[in-house]
A and B are shown apart, each in its own frame.
Chain A
Amino acid sequence: AQTVTQSQPEMSVQEAETVTLSCTYDTSESDYYLFWYKQPPSRQMILVIRQEAYKQQNATENRFSVNFQKAAKSFSLKISDSQLGDAAMYFCAQGAQKLVFGQGTRLTINP
Chain B
Amino acid sequence: DAGVIQSPRHEVTEMGQEVTLRCKPISGHNSLFWYRQTMMRGLELLIYFNNNVPIDDSGMPEDRFSAKMPNASFSTLKIQPSEPRDSAVYFCASSLRGGRLAYEQYFGPGTRLTVT
**A97 and B102 contacting across the interface, CB-CB below 8 Å:** yes
Question: Which residues of chain A come closer than 8 Å to B56, judged between CB atoms?
Answer: 97-98
Say whether chain A's binding surface is mostly helix, strand, loop, or mixed.
loop
Interface residues on A, range: 20 to 34
Query: How far, in Å, is B75 (CB) from chain A's closest CB?
Result: 15
**B107 and A32 contacting across the interface, CB-CB below 8 Å:** no
Is A101 an interface residue when CB atoms closer than 8 A count as contact? Answer: yes
15 A-B pairs in the complex with CB atoms less than 8 angstroms apart: A33-B101, A33-B103, A33-B104, A42-B109, A43-B109, A43-B110, A44-B107, A44-B109, A45-B107, A96-B102, A97-B31, A97-B48, A98-B33, A99-B105, A102-B42
A100 to B43, CA, bound (A): 8
Interface residues on B, range: 20 to 34
Is B53 an interface residue when CB atoms closer than 8 A count as contact? Answer: no
5 further A-B pairs in the complex, CB-CB below 8 A; given A47-B106, A98-B33: A35-B105, A97-B56, A99-B105, A102-B42, A103-B42
